[in-house]
């Protein structure tokens, strides 16, 4: 589990094809002295399992499932990535609950200066729009952010100078693809609303306005 508060800015050191999967090695300024084999480290919002590490690096294997659902398949050696080690029970909870399980890939469709902040608009895939809420939380490339405004599946974000300095957002531009993770609570609420019908529909959600009305959630 993570908080979405980026710990350090890392760099992709190598990408190696291994049996159809990918092994990635990340250079980082994070303190690696407390890392153990099998620990989780969020890298641009993707929960990766440590298989090897040193004083300033770690390596992880990436499955084809992760490659298909995230931006990792397009990473290049030398590119900047956001790094956050898994939270401890004593960690100050400054962001929101982040699992590191990317829901979809979005696209930066607007980027501009807004006073001292940076303003971005991100177009999310339509299928995850129902999990997004104005003033709710979303994780973008591993950064816990508040959705300022929401227009359908387009969300607007403001990032303060401190966030810009500690993350990879200086590399974001029009057309950049970013990893998105919705608030985990939204996903569980959807399943709870289905009740016993959840077991009958393993492929796609049938939550609709009619379903909500029929079950007394709308009047």
The secondary element (H helix, E strand) that includes residue 68 is helix 64-69
List, for residues 72-90, the tens digit of each pLDDT value. 999 999 999 999 999 888 7
Which has more pLDDT, 88 or 203?
88
* Dihedral angle sign, alpha carbons of residues 106, 59, 5, 64: positive
3 state SS of 24 = strand
Quick one: which of 78, 84, 74, 14 has its CA closest to 44? 84
Tell me the pTM.
0.86
Residue 185: both structure tokens together: 């609570």
Q: Is the pLDDT of residue 217 over 60?
A: no
List, for residues 12-23, the tens digit of each pLDDT value. 999 999 988 999
Q: Is the pLDDT of residue 101 over 60?
A: yes
Strands of the sheet containing 143-146, edge to edge, are 143-146, 137-140, 177-182, 104-114, 117-123, 154-159, 149-151
> Which pLDDT score, from 0 to 100, does residue 202 have?
59
> Which pLDDT score, from 0 to 100, does residue 156 have?
97
pLDDT level of residue 213 (50, 70, 90 thresholds): low
Domains and CATH numbers, the chain: 8-85 (2.40.30.20)
Q: Is the pLDDT of residue 106 over 60?
A: yes
Task: Give the Cα separation of 28 and 30 in Å (integer).
Answer: 5
- Provide mean pLDDT across the span 18-39: 94
């Amino acid at each position: 589990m993570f908080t979405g508060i980026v710990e350090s800015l890392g760099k992709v050191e190598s990408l190696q094809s291994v049996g159809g999967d990918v092994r990635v090695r990340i250079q980082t300024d994070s303190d690696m002295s407390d890392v153990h084999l099998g620990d989780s480290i969020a890298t641009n919002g993707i929960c990766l399992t440590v298989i090897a590490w040193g004083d300033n690096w770690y390596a992880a294997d990436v499955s084809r499932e992760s490659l298909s659902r995230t931006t990792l398949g397009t990473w290049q050696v030398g590119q900047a990535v956001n790094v956050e080690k898994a939270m401890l029970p004593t960690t100050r909870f400054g962001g929101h609950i982040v699992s590191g399980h990317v829901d979809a890939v979005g696209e930066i469709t607007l980027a501009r200066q807004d006073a001292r902040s940076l303003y971005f608009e991100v177009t999310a895939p339509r299928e995850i729009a129902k999990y997004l809420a104005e003033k709710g939380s979303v994780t973008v490339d591993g950064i816990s952010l508040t959705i300022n405004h929401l227009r359908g599946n387009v969300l607007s974000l403001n990032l303060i100078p401190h966030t810009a300095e500690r993350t990879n957002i200086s590399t974001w531009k029009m057309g950049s693809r970013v990893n998105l993770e919705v608030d985990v609570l939204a996903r569980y609420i959807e399943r709870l609303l289905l009740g016993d019908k959840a077991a009958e529909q393993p492929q796609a959600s049938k939550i609709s306005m009619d379903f909500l009305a029929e079950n007394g959630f709308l009047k």
